[in-house]
Structure 1
Amino acid sequence: MNINYTLLDILTNNIFVWKNIAKEHIQIENGIEIPMIQRDYAQGRNDEKTAYIREKFLKDLHSVMRESQNGSDKYLNLDFVYGYIENSTFIPLDGQQRLTTLYIIYWFLAFKDDVSFYENGLHLFSYKTRQSAKEFLKSLNKDENIEKIRIETEENTQKIVCTIKNQPWYNLNWDYDPTVKGILQTLEEVSKLFSDISFETLKEKRPVNFHFLQINEYGLGDNLYIKMNARGKPLADFENFKASFENVISSHKSSKFFIEKIDGVWLDAFWKFTIESFNKTVDVEQDVSKFTKRCDELMLSFIRKITEYLYYKDNIGRNYQFNDVAIDIIYSKEENLQILIQIFDLVIGLGYNEWVDYFGDIFSEKFQKDRIAINQPSLNPILKIFNNDNFSHFENLLLFGWLNYIAKADSINVTSDLKDFLRIIRNYINNINQKNKTSLDSELRTDYYNDILNTVFSLSISNPFQNLNTTPVSFRKEYIQYEIAKYNLFQDDIFRKDLIFKIEDHSTLRGLIFNFDFTSYTNDELQNITDNFYSLYREVSYQDIIRLLLCFGDYSINVGYSNLGEFRFFGQKGKWHRVLASPDEEIKSNFEELFKIFSKENISDWQNFIETKVSENIESYKDSWLWYCLNPKYKTILDHPIYTKNYENKVEIFYNQSLNSYHHNPFVFWFRYHSPQNVRIHINESDSCAQYSNFSRLHLKNGVELEQINNSWVVYNLDKEFNHSSFKFEEERNCYILSCENLIDELIPLVEVLNLYESNSDI
């Protein structure tokens, strides 16, 4: 093995190895061939990550070559190149990407300086991954082709790629070969960067070299490639990460503090975290390696998450990965290293068990005084980081908000300002949603992170509500305006502030109260409204809540369209958020009237209250199917609170919004499930529903079918000879019609009559 081998050494058959005390020449007369098992030339790809890696690698190579050209003894070693010899050809198994990039540089410098390709073996570099790549390199290295390209680029070598692609021998299909595309992409960048480097420098001073290892004798061959590509994840070893990271931050003034602390006070604190994180008494000395590994994992998880915050803070990309590229970009800014150091210093201010309880003083699942309800079982970001758990977008952004606050405040103390700061963020990000059937689903995604964080950065850590300002906000500005309007409701009135926070923390609202107007109410009235609102949704069935709200108008919200008409939704247990926080404000006027009533008294007898309001307002729905929904006799129709309604006023009710599910005409539904037993025994229940784009009918067991249209039942499958005073035959439609004042009560006694009907007989 020799540490000073170069690409030209392989291509000119100049590789020697030592065996015992003898120097043995390795025969590589046919150059280098990238084997089929290898991937394409990936270092030439044009994605953001690869472009960054390539640019950095080329700059490093150029820098050492230029210094060498200026007389420096510096060199750059590119680590090991592994491979085996077959038919006097070197087959690389590790080093393909580096060798290809070096080849492109050598090729360009030889081209630029009019150096013989043949004498330097540059024609002996080939790819076997694809036939197109092989043919491309073969054509590129022909003397007559090279000479023609030289002539055409004599005045500007930076036109070399364009010139190559315009050659008659260049096959347009090569544009789709990833290796050819990659080589040309890298060549274009090399032509711009390496024009001041001479081929002679590269050949004589050998500033770029690598270790060479021939592995034939170990009997590994292609199998080694498979094993080498399963070596493990980058940065999995904390010591390796530290060494790499210290190199990245070495030029920063703050680097010495990081280096001292990560092996000092931070290590001590995280070691304690490690011991305390086990639920039972443990003997560290019995398995110190286990605890050391766990300690390293905690520290690395913490660095990984803070780095994610910095990645989105600086708007580096949309897909965070904890890798060399991201780390290099993020921590090239000393400010970010300082933030990492600061947050580490703050976090070690508490012990592990104190962190277990810390966020319990900030967040709660449901409303709890002096907490922020987040409508999920728990949120302890520090423990999630330590456990390397996945974060939802909602959790991520709350964590990032908290990190921003403690960094600005340089304190982890739980204060009212911290809670207000995070409350504003909760409300802001809960507003970023999309209407999806019967729910408002989060629209949060990494595309929005930087915009959201810019809003977070604009918030004051002192009196956050009082200092709200929409001027610096460019993303969803109206959501901050909602918070300003909310602040104007309470300002310095702590009692009133607590009431506003209580009602917005209700699970049906989740911080979104823009559909409610509280401006005209006194504190006592607002207390009554809040108490009644909680009581209503705690004690009353969703069917009766719908009936109460309908007393003040049809508030149903549009949730989509279908072949049966538009879908509309009244609200449902566990799904009120879609209605109460609807950005289309359908519910606004209903609650305006309801809150006027709520403000006057605490309601204890909800049944009496609701039935009184229904009796006062039901007649406004005369001749509408909703009259039956309000009527206590038929309110079970609201068991299916989603409905479709077409231009003919034909209604079908659904339990969930899907045409695949069975659905019913509301009156057919009532007869099928809630009519008296003596009526139901005549109903063919399995057919008295519909699916897909069909409208349902009431099917009797004798084959008679009834369809509700406006205030009538249309009866099918009765002969003209059928005769009954309640039914009129309509010639145009060839069917009988039952006109009704009450579509349910008037049909009940006639079901048995219809069921007794047999074709060609009178009743």
Structure 2
Amino acid sequence: MSTTLHSFMDIFETTIEDGDTSVQLNKIVIPLIQRDYAQGRIDKDINRVRSRFLQALYRAVTGEPITLDFVYGDIDEEGTMTPLDGQQRLTTLFLLHWYAAKKEKISDDKYAFLSRFSYETRYSARYFCAELVKFMPSFETTLSADIKNQAWFPFDWKDDPTISSMLVMLDAIDERFKDVPDIWEQLENKAITFYFLPIRDMGLTDELYIKMNSRGKPLTVFEHFKAELEREIRALDEKNGQNTADRIVGKIDKSWTDLLWKYRSSGSSDADDNIIDDEFLRYFKFVCDIICYRNGQSPQGYSSDVFDLLHLYFSADDEKAVANIATLESFFDCWCKIKGYNNPTEFLESFMSYTHARGKIVVDSRYKIDVFEDCLHFYSDKSGRIRQFPLNRIVLLYAITIYLQHQSEVTYSDFVRRIRIVNNLIQNSEDEVSDRQDRNRIPAILQAVDAIILTGVIDDSIEINFNVNQIQEEKEKIEFLMQNPDRTDEVFELEDHNMLKGQIGIIGLDNLSLGSRFSSLFTCSWDKIDCALMALGNYGQQERNKWRYQFASKSLQYAWDELFHKSANAGFENTHTILVELLKSKESFDDGILDRIISAFLAQCEKDNLYPWNYYYVKYPVFRPGSYGKMSNDDVVNKPYMFSVMQTKTQWSQNTYMPYLKEADDDHLSRDEMGQYLVYDDVYIVCENNSYGVYRNDDDSLTDTVTISQNEAGIDTEDRIIKLKKYIANMK
């Protein structure tokens, strides 16, 4: 016996040679042991498979003939073939030929072979196929509705999974082919073919046949994907005279499966989850995204469906397909054998940590140290629309992968130093690491990563889109450590502090000796640190919009990150100066030391009867609510006291308030006026830079002014909050 190429029409006239005997195949029967027809099921994954298969058949019928790979089957002495593999494809071809025959009113004798295709899975499916061949639809409604309305269609047949799937497929075929002419003629001309291999040619036993078909499970998305990928690579091989497909498929089945095996289904012991399908497809998406970025594009503009990605980057018609296949292969291969390590986890843990450790970089504790595992489990949600594996982790994983692909060129020690540079850039470029189509910076970022990992140089010739301040700092640190290699540990330990995350400019290379004091300081209460800094001067920074200001927070690190990481805000150098002054004032810090600094400042203000704005900030906790550290003041030069406390990052809200008013009488603070008024029965009170205005509720006329005494420099010489409280008490 030998493998032969057939169409669904001529398979029924095939003579199978077996030594001295021959058997004519005249009937195809789906046996009891086989699963139900599945390509018509209503399921997201099956819908995708159905759509793609019909699209392939559509292209074949409209001008691009297709071969559907192998159909395996056993043939008995009477010429009845029972398929081992190919049931789903054969059933769909049966339905397509039926549709073409009925739609184009082909004579009965030409499609009589359809009656020789039958199901034995259930009697209902068997009789349905027989009745369907005899039935002539009206094509005036959906085929499924027309069929279910026939007298020969019992009501309970709708519950037969094979029949219901066939009805769905018939409607899908009609939707796809209703405007296609001459379908039957194209089928006669062998637009759709497949290879048929009798089961005995494969050396398979009946026992194996039973085992393979008793699972009752439809092909997975991964199995369809793998077959389609192989088909595309083989087409490319034929075009280029290569033999890549066998190598790639062999690696998928062996070395790449071995790589992913420990990561299967998050380590679940559930036997049903003992596969690497999802992990493979997630990493495949990662590689496709990298290909897209390297092409100067953004994945945001493309489908995230793995089949769409397969055809986009690995189609034989794509001139870059050969290079893309090489990329896919190298991105998998490099993780399979890592010099000096048994597996990716062991390798990654050798240079990554959640806290400072010599020779390691610090990574975000929200994620696993095994960034490769995170990619395999969280690259995107099930719909593929939401990327749960964030862009900064994509860039980090890419950098590590580039090293693994060049282990023969880059030493491990050089890599550990260089990945620290990349990690620092990533951590301090949150706004820059973007792949939106209107500001896609990832292509340039990946180019910069290539240069850093392979050469250790931040190359000015490349358009770099990391944060410019961090780029400059990294260059300065490279130069500094070349001249002062003995201070490497000091630099790295300071970089690894959780409040700095790689950017140490707030302290500076000139003040490295203060690193231990900084660590000591941030074991204290954040609120007390805030107050101690403010006691030395107004350390706040003005944002680029000019009316919003950044201060610290007693509870949210976000505020400290905004202060300690140089940005477009004005005042970073002033914050640096005040922080360094505080660090230089003591060898170490605790809450008691900070309390004494704070108390001394307040006592001096009260002794001198001078109450600058920062006095109120330190004295009254209402100025420091513990939110995002945001305040607003649209004219700080002329109105230095007029800071309103915000509770959001960017906008005023009903929870915004003028802190003097809130401290004086919170019960009468008006949320409707965004905390800018104290409202009473007849009047309301508004804070001005050097006074309080008292206005009538009925006509907004000014009835009184509570003046705040100030010196010639415009600094309060009395506590304006105490004065307002006294006024309110007398008013009541």
Range into which the TM-score falls when normalised by the shorter chain: 0.5 to 0.7
Q: Which residue of 1 aligns with 2:623?
A: 637
Residue correspondences, number: 545
2:453, 2:371 → 1: CA distance?
A: 22
Q: Displacement, 1:531? A: 1.8
Identical aligned pairs, as a percentage? 15
1:711 aligned partner, one-letter code? N
Q: Displacement, 1:610? A: 5.6
1:233, 1:453 → 2: CA distance?
A: 40
Contact map agreement 2:656 2:675 (CA 8 A) in 1: no
Distance 1:489 1:616, change over 3 A: farther
Partner of 1:427: helix, strand, or coil?
helix
Alignment of 1:224-243 (within 5 A): 236-238=221-223, 240-243=224-227
Partner of 1:583: helix, strand, or coil?
coil
RMSD, matched Cα: 5.6
Offset from partner CA, 1:545-587 (integer Å, 9 cap, x none): 25515734553333768xxxx3322122412112222412524
Q: Displacement, 1:236? A: 1.5
Q: 2:702 aligns with which of 733, 739, 755?
A: 733
1:403 aligned partner, one-letter code? T
Q: Displacement, 1:471? A: 0.5
2:411, 2:290 → 1: CA distance?
A: 21
Alignment of 1:569-648 (within 5 A): 569-572=550-553, 573=555, 574-575=557-558, 576-594=560-578, 597=581, 603-605=587-589, 606-607=593-594, 608-609=596-597, 624-630=612-618, 633-634=619-620, 637-639=623-625, 641-647=629-635
Alignment of 1:240-389 (within 5 A): 240-250=224-234, 251=237, 252-267=242-257, 273=262, 278=267, 290=272, 293-315=274-296, 317-318=299-300, 319=302, 321-331=304-314, 333-349=321-337, 354-377=343-366, 378-387=368-377
1:755, 1:265 → 2: CA distance?
A: 81
Q: 1:686 aligns with which of 658, 661, 667?
A: 667
Contact map agreement 1:430 1:510 (CA 8 A) in 2: yes
Q: Which residue of 2 aligns with 1:457?
A: 450
Q: Displacement, 1:399? A: 1.2
Offset from partner CA, 1:501-530 (integer Å, 9 cap, x none): 333333333333456643xx2xxx4122x2
Contact map agreement 2:260 2:279 (CA 8 A) in 1: yes
Contact map agreement 1:711 1:740 (CA 8 A) in 2: yes
1:664 aligns with 2:657: yes
2:706 aligned partner, one-letter code? I
Contact map agreement 2:521 2:588 (CA 8 A) in 1: no
1:743, 1:655 → 2: CA distance?
A: 30
Offset from partner CA, 1:312-348 (integer Å, 9 cap, x none): 3345643462533422443463344344434444433
Worse-superposed segment, 448-457 or 335-344: 335-344
Q: Which residue of 1 aligns with 2:644?
A: 652
TM-score (norm 1): 0.57
2:373, 2:7 → 1: CA distance?
A: 47
Distance 1:614 1:511, change over 3 A: farther
TM-score (norm 2): 0.59
Contact map agreement 1:433 1:444 (CA 8 A) in 2: no
Partner of 2:702: helix, strand, or coil?
coil
1:82 aligns with 2:95: yes
1:603 aligned partner, one-letter code? E
1:87, 1:253 → 2: CA distance?
A: 38
Give unpaired runs (5+ residues) of structure 2: 1-5, 11-25, 29-41, 43-47, 67-89, 106-137, 143-175, 195-215, 316-320, 380-387, 711-715
Q: Displacement, 1:401? A: 1.7
Q: Displacement, 1:400? A: 1.7
Distance 1:501 1:475, change over 3 A: same
1:277, 1:646 → 2: CA distance?
A: 52
1:750, 1:428 → 2: CA distance?
A: 49
1:578, 1:455 → 2: CA distance?
A: 25
1:304, 1:746 → 2: CA distance?
A: 62
Q: Which residue of 2 aligns with 1:110?
A: none
1:89, 1:471 → 2: CA distance?
A: 67
2:190, 2:263 → 1: CA distance?
A: 47
Distance 1:500 1:445, change over 3 A: farther
Partner of 2:657: helix, strand, or coil?
coil
2:284, 2:252 → 1: CA distance?
A: 11
1:83, 1:419 → 2: CA distance?
A: 59
2:696, 2:701 → 1: CA distance?
A: 15
Q: Which residue of 2 aligns with 1:40?
A: none
Q: Which residue of 2 aligns with 1:551?
A: 536
Q: Which residue of 2 aligns with 1:535?
A: 520
Partner of 1:461: helix, strand, or coil?
helix
1:401 aligns with 2:399: yes
2:218, 2:566 → 1: CA distance?
A: 45
2:696, 2:652 → 1: CA distance?
A: 27
2:370, 2:475 → 1: CA distance?
A: 28
Q: Displacement, 1:257? A: 2.9
1:86, 1:617 → 2: CA distance?
A: 93
Contact map agreement 2:428 2:467 (CA 8 A) in 1: no
Give unpaired runs (5+ residues) of structure 1: 7-17, 21-36, 38-42, 44-48, 66-76, 93-124, 130-181, 188-198, 212-230, 435-440, 673-684, 719-730, 759-763
Partner of 2:563: helix, strand, or coil?
helix
Q: Displacement, 1:60? A: 10
Contact map agreement 1:515 1:581 (CA 8 A) in 2: yes
Contact map agreement 2:549 2:631 (CA 8 A) in 1: yes
2:512 aligned partner, one-letter code? L
1:388, 1:750 → 2: CA distance?
A: 56
Q: Displacement, 1:444? A: 5.5
1:750, 1:385 → 2: CA distance?
A: 59
Alignment of 1:413-424 (within 5 A): 415-424=412-421
2:352, 2:254 → 1: CA distance?
A: 32
Q: Which residue of 1 aligns with 2:462?
A: 472
2:585, 2:645 → 1: CA distance?
A: 35
2:401 aligned partner, one-letter code? L
2:463, 2:343 → 1: CA distance?
A: 35
2:59, 2:570 → 1: CA distance?
A: 60
Q: Displacement, 1:496? A: 2.4
Contact map agreement 2:444 2:465 (CA 8 A) in 1: yes
2:391 aligned partner, one-letter code? H
Distance 1:645 1:659, change over 3 A: same
Alignment of 1:678-757 (within 5 A): 685-693=666-674, 695-697=676-678, 705-716=684-695, 733-740=702-709, 745=719, 748=722, 751=725, 755=729
Q: Displacement, 1:397? A: 1.8
Offset from partner CA, 1:614-641 (integer Å, 9 cap, x none): 88999999675334224xx446533364
Contact map agreement 1:660 1:691 (CA 8 A) in 2: no
1:91, 1:366 → 2: CA distance?
A: 73
1:263, 1:743 → 2: CA distance?
A: 81
Offset from partner CA, 1:113-169 (integer Å, 9 cap, x none): xxxxxxxxxxxx99989xxxxxxxxxxxxxxxxxxxxxxxxxxxxxxxxxxxxxxxx
Distance 1:638 1:376, change over 3 A: same
Contact map agreement 2:344 2:372 (CA 8 A) in 1: yes
Distance 1:341 1:614, change over 3 A: farther
1:486 aligns with 2:471: no
